[in-house]
């Protein structure tokens, strides 16, 4: 873990303000309270892994970070700015859809189910957002897209449609597409959960490479051994509350709470 610790420690002091900060975040769907007061901070350059059982609120919290879900109480900040709202005095005012979309450009998100455009080739999927949202010239966007596809090991599949790609290849295209917007923050919502076991490694290797570059990332994952290897901080969430948080050594190797130990034992037992 020394490499990751030195990577985080190397962040200059002037950039040490949290990239993500949650203060008492609550989220309900009807009468069901899914998040019950989440507090956390993600520093620039950190890899932050959220683990926990299905239905614990991990993916919901991730979607709140880029305002795909609206929180019901608390405060959520990305790079020092409120997510989805503007504060004037003691009151919060929800941002217009256009303002939300503008801020969302700085956050790359990779979903469980790829979400590629089926009628576009791999390279066209990667080109789309920089060209349409950022107004980048098509030639420049294409050059950048090919660089990113090469980076995820798929330059030879640039002309293939999603239906011609394996699930792992589609997910790597989705990662390239998110990177094409040059985001300051990357979110991964269980990026390997929809993949056959033999395809998981290729996607995790790409994410590992991004971690080695010092990218700020928040990952929801059930890949506990992977989280142990790449994370700077691990947060175990259950029932919408934070049960335990700390380094991988603290939370995964030496958990303090019985609930954490039981969860990890179930996932790590051979």
Q: How do the residues of the chain divide into helix, strand and coil, expressed in percent and rounded to 5?
A: 40, 25, 35
Please give the structure tokens belonging to residue 68.
């795909």
Buried (b) or exposed (e) across 14-28, using 16+ Cβ within 10 A?
eeeebbbbbeebbbe
**Closest Cα to residue 182, out of 150, 151, 148, 208?**
148
pLDDT range class, residue 88, cuts 50, 70, 90: confident
In the predicted structure, residue 270 carries a pLDDT above the cut 50: no
pLDDT range class, residue 14, cuts 50, 70, 90: very low
Q: What is the DSSP annotation of 163-207?
A: GGS-HHHHHHHHHHHHHTT--SEEEEESTTTTS-HHHHHHHHHHH
C-beta neighbour count of 121 within 10 angstroms: 19
Beta bridge mates, 41: 21
Would you state the pLDDT for residue 13? 41
In the predicted structure, residue 117 carries a pLDDT above the cut 60: yes
Would you state the pLDDT for residue 221? 94
Mean pLDDT of 184-193: 94
Would you state the pLDDT for residue 2? 40
In the predicted structure, residue 5 carries a pLDDT above the cut 80: no
| Mean pLDDT, the chain, whole residue set | 90
Please give the structure tokens belonging to residue 103.
């801020």
**Closest Cα to residue 110, out of 66, 142, 146, 55?**
66
Q: What is the DSSP annotation of 43-101?
A: -TT-EEEEE--TTSSHHHHHHHHTTSS--SEEEEEETTEESSEEEETTEEEEPPHHHHH
Lowest mean pLDDT among 11-25, 76-90, 140-154, 255-269: 11-25
DSSP state of 17: S
In the predicted structure, residue 135 carries a pLDDT above the cut 60: yes
Contact 98, 87 (CB under 8 A): no
Would you state the pLDDT for residue 102? 81
Q: Tell me the percentage of the chain whose pLDDT exceeds 90.
A: 74
**Closest Cα to residue 231, out of 212, 244, 205?**
212
pLDDT tens per residue across span 195-253: 888 889 999 999 999 999 999 999 999 999 999 999 999 999 999 999 999 999 999 99
Would you state the pLDDT for residue 90? 81
pLDDT tens per residue across span 158-173: 999 999 999 999 999 9
Would you state the pLDDT for residue 214? 92
Give how far the C-alpha of residue 167 lies from the chain's centroid of Cα atoms, to the nearest Å: 19
Q: What's the chain's length in residues?
A: 270
Would you state the pLDDT for residue 1? 40
In the predicted structure, residue 131 carries a pLDDT above the cut 50: yes
Would you state the pLDDT for residue 250? 97
Would you state the pLDDT for residue 171? 94
Would you state the pLDDT for residue 49? 97
Higher pLDDT, 142 or 88: 142
């Amino acid at each position: 873990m020394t490499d990751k610790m030195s990577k985080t420690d190397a962040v200059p002091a002037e950039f040490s303000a949290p990239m993500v900060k949650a203060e008492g975040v609550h989220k309900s769907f009807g009468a069901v309270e899914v998040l019950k007061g989440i507090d956390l901070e993600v520093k620039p350059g950190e890899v932050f892994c959220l683990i926990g059982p299905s239905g614990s609120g991990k993916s919901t919290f991730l979607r709140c970070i880029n305002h795909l879900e609206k929180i019901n109480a608390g405060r959520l900040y990305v790079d020092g700015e409120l997510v989805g709202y503007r504060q004037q005095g003691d009151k919060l005012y929800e941002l217009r859809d256009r303002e939300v979309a503008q801020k969302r450009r700085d956050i790359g998100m990779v979903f469980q189910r790829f979400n590629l455009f089926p009628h576009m080739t791999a390279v066209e999927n990667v080109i789309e957002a920089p060209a349409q949202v950022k107004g980048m010239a098509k030639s420049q966007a294409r050059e950048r897209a090919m660089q990113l596809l090469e980076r995820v090991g798929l330059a030879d599949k640039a002309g293939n449609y999603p239906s011609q790609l394996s699930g792992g290849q589609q997910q790597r295209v989705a990662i390239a597409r998110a990177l094409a917007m040059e985001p300051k923050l990357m979110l991964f919502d269980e990026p390997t959960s929809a993949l056959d076991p033999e395809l998981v490694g290729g996607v995790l290797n790409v994410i590992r490479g991004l971690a080695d570059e010092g990218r700020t990332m928040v990952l929801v994952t059930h890949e506990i051994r992977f989280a142990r290897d790449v994370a700077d901080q691990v947060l175990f969430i259950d029932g919408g509350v934070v049960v335990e948080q700390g380094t991988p050594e603290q939370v995964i190797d030496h958990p303090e709470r019985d609930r954490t130990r039981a969860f990890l034992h179930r996932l790590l037992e051979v």
